[in-house]
Amino acid sequence: MFDVAIVGGGPAGASCAVFCAGAGLRTLILEREKFPREKVCGDCLNPACWPLLRRLELAEQVRSLPHGKLARVEFIGIGGRRLRVELPAGDEAEIAIKRSLLDQLILDRARALGTTVFESTTVTTLASPDPRTDHWKISAGEQTFRARALVAADGRNSTVARLCGLLPSGGRERIALQTHLPLPPQFGNRVVLEFRPEGYSGQAPVSGDELNLCLVSVPGRMASLRKWAEGRFQISSSHSWRTITPLTRAPISAGQESLFLIGDAARVVEPFTGEGIYYALASAELAAKAISLQRGGGNAGDVAVSYSSAHAQLYHGRLWINRLARAAVLSPRIASAFLGIARFQPSLLRFLTAKIAGTP
Ligand SMILES: Cc1cc2nc3c(=O)[nH]c(=O)nc-3n(C[C@H](O)[C@H](O)[C@H](O)COP(=O)(O)OP(=O)(O)OC[C@H]3O[C@@H](n4cnc5c(N)ncnc54)[C@H](O)[C@@H]3O)c2cc1C
């Protein structure tokens, strides 16, 4: 019997395990993949992550892994118009780091603190607590696990949310492709957000010799965006890309009785803002506190309500940035026109970038 079972060992699940195991809870992670693994992501670590990485006692180790330093954002409009905005400098600046490295590091820390980790283990069925059994029964193939609290940290297509009837049905959605490539010469310390008629592309150096390349578009126009990227970065047409959808999804109330949704499982943010990992770490910390409270004798219903409200507060005041970013990227022509205006009002773009790349 575990105090808490966490489904998904990405940044949300693994950091929740670090906080739970650190608080003395018997903690289990069930993860579908075998780490290290890559994942569709721009690999950019928002500066707001640093205080959380310090509390995870991982900040120094993250700095010592290969990463790209990001000194500025360069926006490129459809017509090729460029606009540069400087990013905060210093020890806690924005960096880009491969998810194979970051996610493995956090998972290893969770293990070192006593978390039991099962990799290559896909959760397929759940039985929720009932008056006779005050615990969850979680099944992955032939294996069954028991836990007093359950955490859904299994990403935007959360199996836990689906099995609990909480996953909103998706409409027609955009898709993203992602890959790593040799770093083009003289790419520089910048993250590039390039608008195209079909969608947009994000580019960031993840080390001295590798580039992260993401493409975002609607399904019907992705082939054309991909063709553009193949020409631009000399990629073979047989190159294999990672892919994910949806990019937008209605949020789910994060606290249910003895069930805590964290990271993308609870709410997804526009990739363009590069904030998803921050929210994964921050919601993981909130959930771990709530679970400790419940294990200490707190009423499960009250704990769920207060976790939901703390979770909503995390996003409060920042959702407008997301809406703005989404509006911009859903209409790359408007975004390009905005860049034209922002050239004469650079303080506006500087303000928006500082909002995204600053500490919330
Ligand atoms: C195109 C794109 C670009 C992005 N760029 C950035 C960026 O630059 N910076 C940033 O901060 N954020 C970015 N994001 C968002 C970021 O990738 C996510 O917010 C982040 O990965 C969320 O972490 P998570 O731990 O909640 O979920 P995930 O990282 O998705 O981890 C979920 C884990 O659950 C596991 N899992 C799933 N189902 C099961 C199951 N049934 N059983 C067991 N395990 C399961 C998966 O294998 C996975 O390891 C981007 C997203 C996209 C789509």
What CA–CA distance (Å, rounded) separates 245 from 157?
8
pLDDT under 70: residue ranges of the chain: 171, 317-329, 332, 338-360
Distance in Å, CA 265 to ligand 1 centroid: 9
Residue 226 to residues 203, 308, 319, 330, 335: CA-CA distances in angstroms?
14, 39, 30, 17, 20
Residue 109 to residues 15, 26, 123, 154, 188: CA-CA distances in angstroms?
8, 15, 22, 19, 32
Residue 314 to residues 91, 150, 154, 310, 346: CA-CA distances in angstroms?
24, 21, 19, 6, 28
The pLDDT value recorded for residue 274 is: 85
Q: Atom 27 of ligand 1 has which residue's CA nearest to it?
A: 155
Q: Give the angle subtended at the CA of 249 by the CAs of 269 and 164, to the nearest 5°.
A: 115
SS3 112: helix
Looking up tokens 């943010």 gives 269
Q: Which amino acid is at 351?
A: F
Pocket-testing residue among 30, 39, 41, ligand 1, by greatest number of atoms within 8 A of Cβ: 41
Which letter does DSSP use for residue 184 in this model? P
Distance in Å, CA 280 to ligand 1 centroid: 9
Domain borders along the chain are: 2-68+96-169+248-320
Q: Atom 38 of ligand 1 has which residue's CA nearest to it?
A: 154
Distance in Å, CA 139 to ligand 1 centroid: 22
CB atoms within 10 A of CB 210: 18
Q: Atom 19 of ligand 1 has which residue's CA nearest to it?
A: 276
The pLDDT value recorded for residue 12 is: 98
Residues with Cβ within 8 Å of 135's Cβ and at least 6 positions away in sequence, in order, are 1, 129, 146, 147, 148
CB atoms within 10 A of CB 26: 17
* Nearest residue to 65 (alpha-carbon basis) of 100, 108, 40, 107: 100
Residue 203 to residues 41, 121, 157, 165, 183: CA-CA distances in angstroms?
11, 32, 25, 37, 10
Q: What share of the chain is helix, strand, coil (3-state, %, to 5)?
A: 40, 25, 40
Residues with CB under 6 A from ligand 1: 7-13, 30-33, 39-44, 46, 122-123, 153-155, 159, 176, 178, 214, 216, 244, 247, 263-265, 271, 274-278, 280
Distance in Å, CA 177 to ligand 1 centroid: 14
What CA–CA distance (Å, rounded) separates 304 from 157?
22
* Residue 280 burial class via C-beta count within 10 angstroms: exposed 0-12, middle 13-18, buried 19 and up: buried
Span 2-68+96-169+248-320: which CATH code? 3.50.50.60
Distance in Å, CA 74 to ligand 1 centroid: 25
Which residues lie across from 65 on neighbouring strands? none
